Chain A
Amino acid sequence: MAILAKDIRSEVRTRAALNAIVLFSVVTLAVVSYATGSFGLSPEVHASLIWIIVFFAAMAGLSRTFVVEAERGTEVALKLTASGTQVFLGKFLFNLVLLGLLDLVLIPLFQILLPIREANWGLLGIGLGLGSLALAASTTLVAAIVAQAGVKGALFTVLSFPILIPVLVAGVSSTRKAMDLAPWADAVTEIQLLVSYAGIMLTLSFFLFDSVWRD
């Protein structure tokens, strides 16, 4: 918890990760909106766009939480004082908060630039929320791994993408169904997938984290 508070406080002061994420998504959204103009978007395309933006924004911003500690050398102080559990949970929750904020910013923005006319809003929200949860759960360990590597570059994206495919598939599918005004029952498979995936990834990361974190 202390780590979460510290990271949030640091973020409030420097706004680095938030800038990366929000700016990226706003720009991408603007570009897409401009490109598609007045053409109506089918639910498939619309749903895909939302998730493309979320995915790439996550790739831009979620690795920072570990990479920055490694680059600035504060890793040592953390390893000396905090337990692996504390660090992992703190970073995971921080990434979750970041994604949550992204979602909250993105939906209104979509309404302005690429409006969603009608949808099963509950399902949309849940799909997006659970998808973000699964995203954060899957990528926290990868971020820790990338922080240990030498040349970072696009490593985070390369490693995360295959692991995130189930999340993207389920996310896009549930969002599309929401836009098709489908009832909740139709999206049960997707929701189950997202919840179980998040759970499994989180548990596994928890067990494996120490092996990455401890030299």
Chain B
Amino acid sequence: MARAWKWVTGALMTASILLAFTYSPVATRPRFEGGQTTMVPWPEFRIFFFHVPSAWIATLGFLVAMIWSIRYLKTRDPKQDDVALASSELGFVFCAVALASGMIWARREWGAFWNWDPRQNTVLILLLIYGGYFTLRSAIADEDKRRRIVAVYSIFAFVTVPFLVFVVPRVMETLHPSPIIKTDQQSGVMNAKMRQVFYLFLLSYTALYVWILNIRVRVERLSRANVVDLQAQEVA
């Protein structure tokens, strides 16, 4: 991986953050008062820039983990499992960020940290699945067995994601009819400039993910190589 990547990532993230506060106009939303509709500033909306890309990367991390898990099962090459592990770790972190930022937003917007909104639930469940992945990893001693079993779980658990993101919210609507504005509505609030910043953030987050993923995978491979070398030295 080109050394330049970290500079690229750094530049992108810095640009995104700066632009979020300067270039992007402050969001506004309608307020109904005494029969009149006025547009009032809504600065808190900025958290949207941080929150949504996190959630997307969390899902991406999971997808990457699943794909590399399939590759591991096919090749039984530990290198594939390294990527799956690293991606799961990153996905977990981004998931936690998404959850936390979402909860902050919820508190500001609707008064409570948790609302059983279907989207919040999805992110929470994703976190639980990641948690299960790590718990399972630590529960199996033999390395080859661990990689194999955990790969299966990664693939199996991912299947729930399409259901959780698309189908379950529809069912839950009838269960908890909610007065909550959905995030889709939020995107209607964005104008062109804000949209540009938003996509920049998405790009930056992805760059960040790729950068850290690469480092983590290399660390994992190095630590494995060391163990083998040490053992070879012992035998000699």
Contact = CB atoms under 8 A, between A and B. Distances in A.
Task: Consider the complex of A and B and state whether they touch directly, i.e. have CB atoms less than 8 Å apart.
Answer: yes
Interface in B101-151: 121, 125, 128-129, 131-132, 135-136, 139-141, 145, 148-149, 151
Contact of B174 (A148, A151, A163, A173): A173
Interface stretch (A16-24, A78-86, A164-172): A164-172
A151 B139 contact: yes
Contacts of A163: 129, 156-157, 160
Q: What size tier do the contact residues of chain A reach?
A: 35 or more
A201 B135 CA distance: 22
Contacts of B167: 166, 189, 193
Contact of B160 (A149, A166, A176): A166
A68 interface: no
B171 A193 contact: yes
Contacts of A151: 139
A113 interface: no
Contacts of B139: 149-152, 155
B210 interface: no
B175 A172 contact: yes
Given A162-B132, A166-B168, A148 B160 contact: no
B171 to A, nearest CB: 5
A120 interface: no
Contacts of B172: 169, 173
The majority secondary structure among interface residues of chain B is: helix
Contacts of A204: 155-156, 159
B59 to A, nearest CB: 14
B170 interface: yes
B152 interface: yes
A200 interface: yes
B164 interface: yes
B64 interface: no
A149 B148 CA distance: 12
A149 B140 contact: yes
A142 B152 CA distance: 10
A145 B160 contact: no
Contacts of B145: 148, 215
Interface stretch (A27-35, A69-77, A101-109, A205-213): A205-213
A110 interface: no
Interface in A143-165: 145, 148-152, 155, 158-159, 161-163, 165
A159 B135 contact: yes
A201 B121 CA distance: 21
A170 B171 CA distance: 7
A18 B164 CA distance: 32
B73 interface: yes
Contact of A141 (B136, B140, B156, B168): B156
Contacts of A173: 171-172, 174-175
A175 to B, nearest CB: 11
Given A163-B157, A176-B175, A189-B174, 15 more contacts: A141-B156, A142-B156, A145-B152, A145-B153, A149-B140, A150-B139, A155-B135, A159-B135, A162-B157, A166-B164, A169-B168, A173-B172, A177-B174, A193-B168, A212-B152
